[in-house]
Structures are given as structure tokens and as C-alpha cells.
Structure 1
């Protein structure tokens, strides 16, 4: 039986569920596949979406699966019926399963360091980050400039101060966000504070933006802890591993401010996290009043303050 609008048969559903993502992309969208070696691939549209050993995992969103059907629903945002029809009408056949030889993963290592962080400082200042915040992060070693590509590197450490995570962000015109190989997501970029409050953001740039907002208010930005999650997902059920780990390691935290992007993913993630945290902590959910994220907001506020020639209270 052929599919009609709004309807699919049980046989078509089973056929769609059997198709793996690599087979679908190789035959229908081969331009999306980027070979990474050792039998794994990434997609050109989402460079943190990895396909390996018959499974796919979108690292920046914390979601994954096996089938092309899961991919079309969760990544392409297709409804179930449309996704099934897309796979069945395309007459895509599963490719033979090739299990690559298992090789040990490379141990985590920080990208090489550039002695002069001039480009990183210039980039962050252009993004509206206060010089005092930049200087503190450079001094701690949790921020530096890579060599030879001059990316901004945001370092995450364990409780012993050992680097376990690194996120690279391009300081040039071409956008790039890339986790160092074998980064441990439990130890994403964070700034330890002296008080009992924790600010949780999606990106490291947003964490520095909120720190800048607090520095503009009264200069006491280092009282807060800051944690970047490296992205959030609309579909993640529990708490992100980085947040669970940080709260476990810093049991003096009492207040949590969830300061995410003002979009569907940010709003959904904030509400789910608030639900899991509210019985143990004082939790507030805050979104930028202007712009998509808090870095947009900081840059807009900086521009307004510059134009008006006055210093405003940024307390929220």
C-alpha cells in the first residue's frame, strides 16, 4: 500500500525504523557526510553530530539514536508521518554494516598555546566582555589563545585543577565551535566563585557576558560561580552531566540562576532544569530582555551606554 497524506502503514513504519542514518545520508544526502577516520563521520550542517558503529550522537544537544527516522524527527524537526513517508518514498536500502577496527581513543590534550593572546582579547572586547573579566580568566589559565589557529580556548578542570575539557571558538570571521578530542563533558568551562550563587549559561561567551553585567553593576562579579553547559537540548530529560558534577563538587551552592538563550531550546531546558532543582535550591530562570542570548544583550547595552555617555545599573 502506498502512503497517503497524513497516513502510513505499519509495514512502512517498520521499514523506516530499520534504516540507519549512515545508509540514508550516503544515498540521499551524500554531501552531508564528512569522514573523520576510524569509520566515523560527522555531518556538514552540524559538526558536533557524529555517526559511528551504527549509532549517531549530536554532542552539542545531548541527543542521539540509531535510525534515520530518529534523525529526521529530532534533528530535522519532521513530524512522524512525514519522516516515515520521506524514508519509504526514497526507496533507500540499508548498506552492509561495516564494523571498524577498534582503536584506542587519543588521550585528552589541550591545544597548543600562543604566547600572546592579543587576538583573543580583541575578539572578546569586540563581543562586549569587560577587560577585568578577560584578565582574570587569562591569569587562571582557563582562557588562552591557541597556536597556530588563534582560536579562543575555554578550559574545564576537575577538582584537582587538571584540565579535562576544552572548547575552541574562532576569533576570525569564519564561525567555529569545536570541542578538543576526548574532552570530558562533565568538566565544561566554569569559573569558581567565592559566594553561594551559581550562574548557568549555554556557552562560555554567555558566562563571560553575565560576569560583565555583574561587574558593570558593582564590580563584585567574582562572588558568583559560572558554569557553561556547551549547549542545551529541548529533549534532554534530566540534568546535564556538567551541572550535576559541578553541584556535587561545590556543595555550598544555594542559589542557581538559569540564564539561557531566549529560544525554544533555552526555554524548554530552563523549565526542565528548574523542575529538577527547585526542591534543593533557590532557582530563578532568566532570559535576555533583548537579543537572542546574553552576549547579544551585553553588546546592545554597551552600545546604548556608549551612545548616551552614561553608566547604567545592570542589576537584574
Structure 2
């Protein structure tokens, strides 16, 4: 592809394109969600002006990387598309997606009683009357006057309300839920006790369901909701309450919850919390467990699809390592595979047409990396078996770190190979740390090849119809 130059002014204009307008011009369906718009095709993605965020993976950005991510385009192609083609004329902007002026936080006006809230939470959600009465008495739960929503209040260290999560009490259709305008995410619904244990949940109903399921001495412990899967409320309560040393992550038993647990554990470890555990509901969440106890058919738990696929990939790697062990020059084999696979990984459509070849190359590169790691450990007089290395690979995989599309993964592999080549060609005797670094680089290359392999296995088949549609659209620009 010929080099395409864009001025800083062109890149700035491309990056400032209104994504709501951009998507709607292509016939995409968007739904208002507070100050943002939710994309129906990917319901975890919200856009606002020129910004986007993918909540399931905790990643986001602006217009250019949005088009690169979701339309599988290179940087030049993304900028060209956003600028409207060769003429450099940007998309006509509209004001229909402009967010309303931000309001100061105010609690919704309270109803004179809580009959609808109590009826909903007790009869529909099976939450304990005693638990609800406690939080109502503490002014942390009430019914709003206008819509009769359940309002879960989050207060700061001075007892001032800073956050309000609203949950609809009508049972017909999809239940409303959302936050009051101006809510501070650091102070979502919580309870702080005197013990050293903090239980972490996604939403207030989850927290109250858990307390109902496990009521013994519950007031002695601490509980916090994350307003989704954001860490801010958890981190803030730990800052304010240094007596909290043991953190139990009790997020939903689904793909997003599993990824969030891994991400939160990493955050806690970086903050020197060593007593971090995970407690999963039997069904999708704690309220589903509570429903099951009362004879209601619960929504089942969801396993993470990549964690389900990983053992099969590792088993295949074990067989492949045995086959490749006869090769004398594994480095050259890996380089040859990378040269074959790199151009194919630059386009989702091309990968779809050559999926078998791409997977074969990625498998060989992953297995070859493990064989080089095995040899490196032998040279360091720390021999390990291949099964041990494959187990190490499997336990090193973190689904919340497996982000980005195929082009990003191809770049990760290219960077891994460049690092390895640089380390191998450095003159002189390698120190112990140099040898350990090379070992880590081999493992990282194997892991990045596995991530790309899983992407081709799981994502490409579902992407092809969308990619075909996008290609047809781009050809008309």
C-alpha cells in the first residue's frame, strides 16, 4: 500500500467526527442511554460525540481508532473514510447527538411511602424485608415520587449523598435502571462494617441478594457496588477504610464479570492487597441464586468462551510441539510463518478466506516459541517439561488483557519477534537477567500467537457478513 500523508489538521478533523452521525448515516441503530448512545450491533459499545467506549472490555477512544477497531481498517483508510474520501470533505455534522448540559447531582424527590419498592424487591426479587428495612432506615434506599423507582443512595465519608442508582419497579417489559445525573462513581451504594472484609458487587440488587442469602453477622462486614464493573467505588472505600484488608470479588457469573474479576485483581495487587479472593454465584448472579432458592427458574451462569477454548488449544499445542521438535532451526520456521501470516492478518476479509492457513501458521509459531523456551530453560540449567510450559502458558492467559482486533494482534507478534531478535543478536555473554528476559519473551510470543489463533477461531466467522457490508459501503465513498 502506498504511503498516505495526512496533515495534523486533517487527522484532528477526522478524529473529531461525530460518531452518532457517522453510524446513523450507515443505517446503524442507536439508542439513547443518558448522555450517550448505545450501539445496537454491539450492545456494550456507547458513543458520545467523537468518543466511544466498549464497556465489556473497558476500552475506548476517539473516531479514528473506532473505525480501525470496528471496520477493520488501517489508519490511512480510517482517516480517508472519516474525511469523506479524496476531497477531504468531512462528514456533515448534526446537533442531534449533542449531549444535554450537565446537571448538578440531586437526589430524586422521595415518595411518601415505599410500598411499590418493597413489593418489588420482596415479591419479585425475594430480598429480605429486614435487610431492606435496615437500608431504608439508614436513608440509603427509598422510592422516588415521580416514577416510583427504587433509589439506592451512595454517600461520601461525611454522609453527604453523592450517587443515586435508580431501578424501575414495574414488572412489564424491560426494567429501567440508570443513575441520577451528576452521580459520582466513587460513591456508589455501599455499607461499611467493622470487620476486615469487603465484598464487591456489580449492582445494588446483587449486594442485597447476597446479604439475604448469607445474613449471619452481615452488618459486621463491608459491601460495595461498582455501578457496573468500574473499580472507582471499590478503590475509594479501600482508601477511606484502611481496616479493610480482605477483598472478595462477587461479580456476575458471565463473560463480562469474569473479565472484570481479572482486571480488578490486577488493580488490587498493584495496590499491595494480597488477600483477594473470588466468590461466584451458582447461576448468572446472586439474585438468580436467590430466585432458585424460592423455586423460580434461574438464568444459568455463563462460562467465558475463550477460557473454554483455551484447554483445547493447549492440548493441540502439546501434540504440535512433539511434531516440531525434529526441526533444527525453529527460529527460521517462526520467521517464515510470520512472513506468511502477517499480510493475511491485515484484513478481516482476507483472513476469512485464508483462515486455515492463518491458524496453521499461528499454531506453528506458538508451538515453536514453547520449544525455544524449553531449550532456553535447559541452557539455564532449569529444565522443565513441555507439559509444564503449556500449563504455564494456560495460567498466564488473562481474558481481560486479550483486546484489540487482528491488526493489533499482528503488531504484538511483530513486536515480540523484534524483541527476541534484538536479544539474541546482542553481543557478549548474557547475564541471568538477560536469559530470564529472553525466556519471558518466548512465553509472550507464544501467548500472543494463541490470542490471535483464538480470535481467528471465534471472531472471524461472525465478522465476515459485517465486513462484506462495510467493504461495499467503503466502495461507494
TM-score with structure 1 length normalisation?
A: 0.74
CA RMSD of aligned residues (A): 3.9
Higher helix share: 2
Structure 2 residue aligned with 1:32, among 26, 30, 33? 30
Q: Which residue number in structure 2 is paired with residue 307 of structure 1?
A: none
In 1, the alpha carbon distance for the partners of 2:32 and 2:99 equals: 19
User: How much does 1:123 deviate?
Assistant: 1.1
Partner SS for 1:303: coil
CA contact (8 A) 2:45 2:52 kept: no
CA contact (8 A) 1:274 1:285 kept: no
Deviations 1:257-311 (A, max 9, x none): 100111121111112222332442411112112x21111112112338xxxxxxx
Q: List runs of 5+ in structure 2 lacking aligned partners.
A: 5-9, 297-477
CA contact (8 A) 2:141 2:151 kept: yes
User: How much does 1:87 deviate?
Assistant: 10
In 1, the alpha carbon distance for the partners of 2:77 and 2:101 equals: 40
Q: List runs of 5+ in structure 1 lacking aligned partners.
A: 2-8, 234-239, 305-316
User: How much does 1:147 deviate?
Assistant: 1.1
In 1, the alpha carbon distance for the partners of 2:100 and 2:288 equals: 42
- Considering only CA atoms, is the larger Rg found in Structure 1 or Structure 2? 2
Q: Which residue number in structure 1 is paired with residue 157 of structure 2?
A: 159
Partner SS for 1:273: helix
Deviations 1:232-267 (A, max 9, x none): 27xxxxxx1111111001111011110011112111
In 2, the alpha carbon distance for the partners of 1:60 and 1:137 equals: 30
Q: Which residue number in structure 2 is paired with residue 308 of structure 1?
A: none
In 1, the alpha carbon distance for the partners of 2:60 and 2:256 equals: 16
Q: Which residue number in structure 2 is paired with residue 112 of structure 1?
A: 109
Counterparts in 2 of 1:299 and 1:51: CA distance versus 1, 3 Å? same
Is 2:278 the counterpart of 1:280? no
User: How much does 1:71 deviate?
Assistant: 7.1
Deviations 1:115-170 (A, max 9, x none): 11111111111212111111111111111111120111111111000000111111
Partner SS for 1:274: helix
Is 2:64 the counterpart of 1:64? no
Partner SS for 2:257: helix
In 1, the alpha carbon distance for the partners of 2:255 and 2:152 equals: 26
Which stretch of the first structure deviates more once superposed, 268-277 or 22-31? Answer: 22-31
Deviations 1:22-58 (A, max 9, x none): 332231136415497xxx6523746993513x32356
CA contact (8 A) 2:31 2:37 kept: yes
Higher strand share: 1
In 1, the alpha carbon distance for the partners of 2:135 and 2:54 equals: 29
CA contact (8 A) 1:61 1:231 kept: no
In 2, the alpha carbon distance for the partners of 1:134 and 1:23 equals: 44
Q: Which residue number in structure 2 is paired with residue 237 of structure 1?
A: none
CA contact (8 A) 1:133 1:211 kept: yes
In 1, the alpha carbon distance for the partners of 2:151 and 2:274 equals: 31
User: How much does 1:194 deviate?
Assistant: 2.6
User: 1:83-122 maps to which residues of 2 (within 5 A)?
Assistant: 94-96=90-92, 105-122=102-119
The total of aligned residue pairs comes to 279
Q: Which residue number in structure 2 is paired with residue 313 of structure 1?
A: none
Q: Which residue number in structure 2 is paired with residue 292 of structure 1?
A: 284
Q: Which residue number in structure 1 is paired with residue 229 of structure 2?
A: 232
Partner SS for 1:262: coil
Counterparts in 2 of 1:62 and 1:275: CA distance versus 1, 3 Å? closer
Deviations 1:83-140 (A, max 9, x none): 9999989978742457999996321100111111111111111212111111111111
